[in-house]
A and B are shown apart, each in its own frame.
Chain A
């Protein structure tokens, strides 16, 4: 079934900033119908502090992943950072995070860009590197301070957060990969041009031709290739641009709400872009039991989706409490008003 992958998740970590803004506060300021907020199934979103960015949040999540992995950092042979909000247009965040974690200089390091899916691609690359024996461990970071034009409907959900995974040998892993399937196509649903601070999106174009088509094809491809049925999975985690899409796509694919809800965090933290599905996976790992099977499906505009099948091992129980858990970060929150949100996300520029 696993096609000889012998690769697993050795450690995981997440980071959710402590500040939250209510979606209704944003809607009220810009005159959106409260019904729109309800239809998106979004309560509030996480907001990074003024001194946080994709690099600092990625560092925190990666540190937790390494602590849980309990490995010698000198054995990490690669680090990939998936982000669409890197602090520098040219200068990698991967090297900053690596140095701040005291990782060895002899390693592969790169920032990847594929909208919200770059970290999913980094997992695919890591599967190849680890299974081929080119590296023992690969560190994958998904981190974003999602941008949204003030007053754009995207502002209701665009949020901040990070997740990180140490990918390594199946032996000793908390969950091993059984299979993967990627589906991509040229789909102009969402983009940000060079020099533009905010992305544009093709309204109705973002759902059926983009999110749903790519996730459905990736998941169905995985099911077909590995002979899985929806009932084979205990949890399913999807990319979550809002609180509605993951439920809709999950039900369409034949999964029950009970399998989708544990990994659906968008209603309480918003869309953390590259971290969205991966924080959901972290939450699911933290409540899962050995032997349970998890489906992870990422999505990135432009567009593509990776579907992965994972099986949880006995190791998970001994790792959960070694670092901060997703539920703890969900509870540890301070509400801010739109004014502080503007200051924190630098929406006003001092001259």
Chain B
């Protein structure tokens, strides 16, 4: 987990300098054109839900977060498969504006607490 902290905490993806495709999580080669000419890019901190699914029976360790809402979010800078938080399944909709926030994921078997980026509904303020 520690080796992934840039990806998990800062939404760092990769951009292909050959075809321009942006992908997350980062890869050494572009999944579209196979070019290794890629560079790390920041994906941004807000976006819109493209699609989502609800997991009512999660794998062991995630029970307290059930139901899990897993969404594909377009940040403008790229697409991120992520967990939504601070929202109930019946409140989510395609096109919902969301923003990135740091949250806990399930504690590992040896007690490590992974912190990751999740998305929550974008709040409107005065």
Contact = CB atoms under 8 A, between A and B. Distances in A.
Interface of A: 18, 49-53, 55-56, 59-60, 87-88, 96, 99-100, 102, 324-325, 327-328, 332, 343, 346, 350
Nearest to A348: B64
Contacts of A325: 125-126
7 contacts: A18-B86, A51-B85, A59-B102, A60-B101, A100-B102, A325-B126, A328-B123
Interface residues of B, number: 19
Nearest to A53: B104
B115 A56 contact: yes
A51 B68 CA distance: 12
A328 B85 contact: no
B118 interface: yes
Contact of A52 (B5, B103, B125, B126): B103
B9 A99 contact: yes
Given A56-B101, A56-B102, A99 B85 contact: no
- Prevailing SS type, chain B contact patch: mixed
Contact of A50 (B9, B65, B115, B126): B65
Given A51-B85, A60-B102, A96 B123 contact: no
B123 A324 contact: yes
Interface string B96-126: 0000011111000000010100100001011
Contact of B103 (A56, A327, A328, A346): A56
Interface in B47-68: 63-65
Given A18-B86, A52-B103, A346-B64, A88 B125 contact: no
B10 interface: yes
A49 B115 contact: no
Q: Which 10 A-B pairs have the closest CB atoms?
A: A51-B103, A328-B125, A100-B9, A51-B104, A59-B102, A50-B64, A56-B102, A87-B113, A100-B102, A56-B103
Nearest to B111: A88
A282 to B, nearest CB: 14
Contacts of A96: 115
B65 A100 contact: no
Given A100-B10, A325-B126, 19 more contacts: A18-B86, A50-B64, A51-B85, A51-B103, A51-B118, A53-B113, A55-B113, A56-B101, A56-B104, A87-B104, A88-B113, A96-B115, A99-B9, A100-B9, A100-B102, A324-B123, A324-B125, A332-B123, A350-B64
Contacts of B10: 100, 102
A99 to B, nearest CB: 6
Find the residue from A88, A99, A350 having the highest chain B CB count within 10 A. A99
A17 to B, nearest CB: 9
B123 A51 contact: no
A347 to B, nearest CB: 11
B5, B103, B118: which has the most chain A beta carbons within 10 Å? B103
